[in-house]
Structure 1
Amino acid sequence: MNLLNKSLLHLSVWLFFIIALWSVFFYFNMLNEIKESVDEGLDNYKRQIIYNVAKDSTLLDKNNFEEGFFAIRQIPKDKSIRIKDTYIDTLMYMQDADDEAPELEPVRLLGTAFENKGRFYELKIINSMVEEDDLVEELFREAVLLYLLLIAAIILLNRFVLRRLWQPFYSFLNQLQHYRVGSSKHFPEVKTKTQEFTDLQKAVHILLHHNVETYEQQKQFIGNASHELQTPLAIATNKLELLIEKGNLDTEQAGNIAEIMAIVERLVRLNKSLLLLTKIENKQFLDNKTVLVNEIVNQSVNDLEEIAAFKNITLSVDASAELTTEMDVSLANIVVSNLLRNSIFHNIENGTVAITISEHSITISNTGIPTPIDELQLFTRFHKSETHSNSTGLGLAIVKAICDLYGFRLSYRFEDNLHYFELRVN
């Protein structure tokens, strides 16, 4: 979840609770205001009835609500003293003009007591709450609708505002994702007056400037190392070859020189592998093109056929589809070549190597030792099997570094006494 959506999520949750609490408060407050208004009306009716009873004693005969909206009955003095004005909600049978028979309707009832000519009476006054209940229900629906509209409006408004607010950040982030040390000419820039974003730009520029300097120093070191190491190794190889060509060496001396030449050749291979690995990690291979992996596999098989034939190893290719990807052609050749060489060199006499190509992956299976290999050590630098001590131990490490560079998935498994290396490019 990106920062914009996460901000909106937190904002929406808090708004939901805050406005929900406000809506509840608003609803009950309006309900209380309506009841207070009704109670004021009942209190006014009470004063009028008491005043009219003093003039017209026949009103004291209204003992039930069938004759009007109030009822009076005589009570003892001690009971009247205990009666206080009370307002309650209740239900009573009432018949409106559009009702065929009396129905239970909500009413607001005021209970009180008064004195008239030395006698004490209990007075009950009712006021129908049908209209008020309809009003409360309508208020409730309006409050809910207002609540939903308010939530939606605030979220949409904040999304628009936040999107505009964070737009410079996302633009800067997009530039940063496409920036490549050594190939991009300009640093990412953000056009905004927001202080935090300008501070972020300054910090990123400092880091990128440092990375560019380090990158250039590494490139220079790689070039110098390549020249300084390869030249003396080539000279040593040539001199050893001249000694052997003179032919005035005995068998023991010739054997010692051959061992030295093998060591020098191993140093040459190791130097080349380390330089290649460093270039890969520094992303110095940026000539990406559309590569047809099938062609590279066929070329590598042709190049390694003689080595495989020498060990009586059968090579087979099963291509059910064309596998293409965007990468540097030289690195694609290294990946396929190193995987095939690994499968041949770590094979057994009369073994097999099978290459399967699908639309999204290439799988290489080979016979070999009848036990699985630890995958964590398999792609580790300088990891070598005991039977191939002359190996540099960097072949699969280079393959793994190239896969990491392009986001490919390289995996190993052991099934049915076969070692499988699967490379998924899509």
Structure 2
Amino acid sequence: MKLLNRATAYFAVLLLVVLSAWAALFYYNMLDEIYDSIDDGLENQKILVMQKALQDSTVLAQREFEAGYYQVKELPFNLAANRKDQYRDTLMYMLNEKDYEPVRLLVTVFQQGGRYYELRVITSMVEEDDLIEDLLYSLLWLYLGLLVSLLTLNNLVLKSIWQPFYQILHRLQRFRLEKGEALPPVKTNIEEFRLLHETVDKLLQSNIDTYNSQKAFIENASHELQTPLAISLNKLELLVEKEGLTEEQMLQLGAVMQHLGRLSRLNKSLLLLSKIENRQFQEMGPVNLQEIVRQALADLGDQIEYKELQVSVQEEPCLVQVNPDLATVLVYNLLKNAVVHNVQGGFLNLHLTAQALVLENSGKDQALDTQKLFSRFYKEASASGSTGLGLAIAKAICDLYGFSIRYRYQQAHLLEVTF
């Protein structure tokens, strides 16, 4: 939900609560005023009836309300003593409505000619259900009117005020660290948005500088390491070819060359992984994975033959939008992982469709740790020659292009990449 819509929703709920509380308070205050007004009218009618009774004795003979708005009946002194005026609500049958309607009743006692009389005076009053209904509709229309006004204010005024914020957000969404471009300036007179833009711009510029520094360091360090490693390997190869070396010396030189070779591969893999994560492979295009799979199988043919693996390949044309070099690395790393960690005389099944690449291979009779499988330097204890970066590189390539890679164990090890 957008910020403006969330704020509008909060205002709408708050407005409904405030209006409801206001309506309840207004309703009870209005009823109180209505009752005060009606009771004042009844008091005035009482006085008029008592004055009329002094002039016309027939008033004292009115026993029912049908003939007017009052009734009078005589009371003995013991019942009339200490009686006070009573106001109460009651119902009376109205001929015009043909139903019982609410009325306000005043019961009082007065004395005339040495006798005591009970006087009952009635007057119609507002029906509470009608009052509540009218108030509810009035409140509903008021709420809708205020809500429409709030939405109009939100879309016309607040949206215009927040426009610089959305410009900054939109430019942040398009920002790419590897391009090294700072945010273009945003024109605004609002101090908070101007401060936000300056702060974000400083932060991004700091990240760009750090990225460029890290990129240069990795490239320089890799280059500086690769050169002495290559020289050391060449000199050791020349030393091995010389005569007069004992068998023990040959074994030690072979071990040194093996470690240097692994160090050289590790250096190249770390550099490649760093470039992938830094998005330095900008070139993209339609790549036919079918051809890359065939080439990778041919390149690994000697290892497959050495391990006597039974290879089954089911392939379909598959075009994906990736960097060609990274597509080769992805397929080669997955296939090499399935071959290197296989068992002697095992199997390797490859299934390539337009949507996915699935590799199924034999190996250890237990599932691998899915939490660590794609982590850097994770490898089985038996794979001493592995750098432990093959699947980490494959995972980085998949993350770069939004592919999904997952592992599962079903009496065999399965790796599936969904494009």
TM-based fold match above 0.5: yes
Aligned: 1:274 with 2:270:
yes
Read off the aligned partner of 1:418 and give its amino acid letter: A
Report how far residue 247 of structure 1 moved.
4.9
Q: What are the equivalent positions in structure 2 for 1:185-196 lying under 5 Å apart?
A: 185-187=181-183, 189-196=185-192
**Contact between 2:290 and 2:316, CA under 8 Å: does it hold in 1?**
no
3-state DSSP class of the match of 1:193?
coil
> Gapped runs of 5+ residues in structure 1?
none
Residue 416 (structure 2) aligns with: 422
Aligned: 1:176 with 2:172:
yes
Q: 2:390 aligns with which of 386, 391, 395?
A: 395
3-state DSSP class of the match of 1:375?
coil
**Contact between 2:288 and 2:317, CA under 8 Å: does it hold in 1?**
no
Report how far residue 323 of structure 1 moved.
5.8
3-state DSSP class of the match of 1:206?
helix
Read off the aligned partner of 1:95 and give its amino acid letter: L
Whole-angstrom distance in 2 between the partners of 1:260 and 1:41 = 115
Q: 1:221 aligns with which of 212, 217, 234?
A: 217
Report how far residue 192 of structure 1 moved.
2.5
- Offset from partner CA, 1:75-132 (integer Å, 9 cap, x none): 2345445333333221112211xx6xx5322212222222223322221111233678
Residue 202 (structure 1) aligns with: 198
Whole-angstrom distance in 2 between the partners of 1:136 and 1:54 = 42
Aligned: 1:379 with 2:374:
yes
Q: What are the equivalent positions in structure 2 for 1:30-109 lying under 5 Å apart?
A: 30-77=30-77, 79-96=79-96, 102-109=98-105
Residue 349 (structure 1) aligns with: 344
Residue 12 (structure 2) aligns with: 12
Report how far residue 291 of structure 1 moved.
4.1
Whole-angstrom distance in 1 between the partners of 2:14 and 2:216 = 56
Q: Quick one: structure 1 residues 165 and 236, their matched pair in 2 at CA, closer, same or farther if it must change by over 3 Å?
A: same
Report how far residue 328 of structure 1 moved.
2.8
Whole-angstrom distance in 2 between the partners of 1:48 and 1:359 = 100
Read off the aligned partner of 1:124 and give its amino acid letter: R
Q: Quick one: structure 1 residues 42 and 154, their matched pair in 2 at CA, closer, same or farther if it must change by over 3 Å?
A: farther
> Gapped runs of 5+ residues in structure 2?
none
Q: What are the equivalent positions in structure 2 for 1:192-341 lying under 5 Å apart?
A: 192-247=188-243, 249=245, 251-319=247-315, 322=318, 324=320, 326-341=321-336
Whole-angstrom distance in 1 between the partners of 2:212 and 2:323 = 21
Report how far residue 189 of structure 1 moved.
4.0
Q: How many residues align?
A: 419
Read off the aligned partner of 1:214 and give its amino acid letter: T
Report how far residue 252 of structure 1 moved.
4.4
Report how far residue 54 of structure 1 moved.
1.2
Q: Quick one: structure 1 residues 219 and 300, their matched pair in 2 at CA, closer, same or farther if it must change by over 3 Å?
A: same
**Contact between 1:12 and 1:155, CA under 8 Å: does it hold in 2?**
no
Q: Quick one: structure 1 residues 110 and 201, their matched pair in 2 at CA, closer, same or farther if it must change by over 3 Å?
A: same
Q: Quick one: structure 1 residues 165 and 354, their matched pair in 2 at CA, closer, same or farther if it must change by over 3 Å?
A: farther
Aligned: 1:363 with 2:358:
yes
Whole-angstrom distance in 1 between the partners of 2:131 and 2:385 = 94
**Contact between 2:312 and 2:348, CA under 8 Å: does it hold in 1?**
yes
Report how far residue 322 of structure 1 moved.
3.8
3-state DSSP class of the match of 2:375?
coil
Report how far residue 286 of structure 1 moved.
2.8
Whole-angstrom distance in 1 between the partners of 2:130 and 2:10 = 37
Stretch moving more, 397-406 or 151-160: 151-160
**Contact between 2:269 and 2:389, CA under 8 Å: does it hold in 1?**
yes
Whole-angstrom distance in 2 between the partners of 1:380 and 1:260 = 27
3-state DSSP class of the match of 2:372?
helix
- Offset from partner CA, 1:264-317 (integer Å, 9 cap, x none): 211110110111122223332233434444443344334333432332223333
Whole-angstrom distance in 1 between the partners of 2:316 and 2:409 = 23
Whole-angstrom distance in 1 between the partners of 2:126 and 2:405 = 76
Whole-angstrom distance in 2 between the partners of 1:15 and 1:290 = 56
Report how far residue 321 of structure 1 moved.
7.3
Report how far residue 249 of structure 1 moved.
4.3
**Contact between 1:301 and 1:315, CA under 8 Å: does it hold in 2?**
no
Residue 145 (structure 1) aligns with: 141
Read off the aligned partner of 1:118 and give its amino acid letter: G
3-state DSSP class of the match of 2:382?
coil
**Contact between 1:108 and 1:129, CA under 8 Å: does it hold in 2?**
yes
Read off the aligned partner of 2:117 and give its amino acid letter: Y
TM-score, normalised by the number of residues in structure 1: 0.88
Q: Quick one: structure 1 residues 263 and 25, their matched pair in 2 at CA, closer, same or farther if it must change by over 3 Å?
A: same
Report how far residue 319 of structure 1 moved.
4.3
Read off the aligned partner of 1:372 and give its amino acid letter: A
Report how far residue 134 of structure 1 moved.
4.5
Whole-angstrom distance in 2 between the partners of 1:403 and 1:360 = 14
Q: Quick one: structure 1 residues 132 and 234, their matched pair in 2 at CA, closer, same or farther if it must change by over 3 Å?
A: closer
Q: Quick one: structure 1 residues 69 and 318, their matched pair in 2 at CA, closer, same or farther if it must change by over 3 Å?
A: farther
**Contact between 1:323 and 1:357, CA under 8 Å: does it hold in 2?**
no
Stretch moving more, 110-119 or 15-24: 110-119
Read off the aligned partner of 1:212 and give its amino acid letter: I
